[in-house]
């Protein structure tokens, strides 16, 4: 198994980084460690205040005024090594990811662009997009914005050359091999292919599963 790098993220966080780019295999390792960190009461007692996963890393944040960084590092690294190797502490079971079904009206202004670049009909794009089972790799950009991996590579599409100044909340977009949903109105450069209910995003957490259902 590839070596995981540990470094400081400022003076109030430790950062574990996995080599390689975006992939489901890396995301599975990252999310397994994230869940263990998130649910560990000892880390909380030691002063951990937040755990933030990304595509290839996990950050453990703490309050440097009250926490001992070395104690947090030692505990977290022990948990990380066990989780990364597939081991589970006695009495601990891996939590099942929550499943979220998002109803989508596929009428986005960039649906034709995605279809043209993919060399297929728009309905074929819709079928491929909704057929995949997605994993929430991380939440970012805006609160509740889910970055989803697992999209069919045949509909991967580059970001817009000129981002929009105003993207409606609930817009479903594609950027490269990623798909995601805008939780609030904001600027953005993703290809908009549809829309869903943004309130449904509030319960979504890293590691959860998302299915899109055409309506």
- Report the alpha-carbon angle 95-176-19, nearest 5: 55
Dist CA 76 CA 42 (whole Å): 10
Low-confidence ranges of the chain (pLDDT < 50): 1, 90
Selection from 96, 125, 92, 137 nearest residue 212 by Cα:
125
3-state SS, residue 205: coil
User: How confident is the model at residue 90, as a pLDDT?
Assistant: 47
Q: Which two tokens stand for residue 31?
A: 């999310």
The residues with which 51 forms a beta bridge, in sequence order, are 60
Q: DSSP E strands: which ranges in the chain?
A: 5-8, 13-17, 48-53, 57-62, 99-104, 134-139, 146-149, 164-167, 171-175, 178-181, 186-188, 191-195, 209-214
Selection from 154, 172, 156, 162 nearest residue 214 by Cα:
172
User: How confident is the model at residue 63, as a pLDDT?
Assistant: 93
Domain ranges (residues) in the chain: 5-84, 99-214
- Report the alpha-carbon angle 190-121-113, nearest 5: 30
User: How confident is the model at residue 1, as a pLDDT?
Assistant: 46
Give the domain 99-214 fold. Cyclophilin (2.40.100)
User: How confident is the model at residue 206, as a pLDDT?
Assistant: 95
5-84 and 99-214 have identical folds: no
Dist CA 145 CA 100 (whole Å): 14
User: How confident is the model at residue 136, as a pLDDT?
Assistant: 97
User: How confident is the model at residue 132, as a pLDDT?
Assistant: 97
3-state SS, residue 213: strand
Class of domain 5-84: alpha beta
């Amino acid at each position: 198994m590839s070596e995981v790098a540990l470094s400081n993220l400022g003076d109030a966080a430790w950062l574990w980084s996995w080599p390689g780019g975006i992939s489901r295999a890396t995301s599975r390792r990252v999310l397994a460690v994230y869940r263990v960190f998130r649910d560990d009461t000892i880390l909380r007692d030691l002063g951990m205040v937040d755990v933030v996963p990304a595509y290839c890393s996990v950050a453990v944040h703490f309050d440097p005024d009250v926490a001992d960084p070395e104690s947090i590092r030692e505990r977290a690294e022990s948990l990380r090594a066990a989780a990364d190797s597939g081991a589970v502490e006695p009495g601990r079971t891996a939590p099942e990811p929550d499943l979220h079904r998002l109803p989508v009206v596929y009428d986005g202004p960039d649906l034709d662009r995605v279809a043209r670049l993919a060399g297929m009909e728009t309905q074929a794009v819709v079928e491929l997009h909704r057929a995949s089972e997605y994993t929430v790799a991380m939440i970012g950009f805006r609160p509740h914005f889910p970055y989803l991996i697992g999209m069919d590579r045949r509909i991967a599409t580059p970001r817009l050359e000129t981002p929009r100044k105003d993207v409606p909340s609930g817009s479903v977009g594609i950027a490269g091999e990623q798909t995601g949903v805008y939780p609030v109105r904001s600027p953005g450069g993703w290809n908009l292919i549809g829309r869903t209910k943004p309130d449904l995003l509030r319960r979504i957490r890293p590691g959860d599963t998302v299915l899109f259902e055409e309506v």
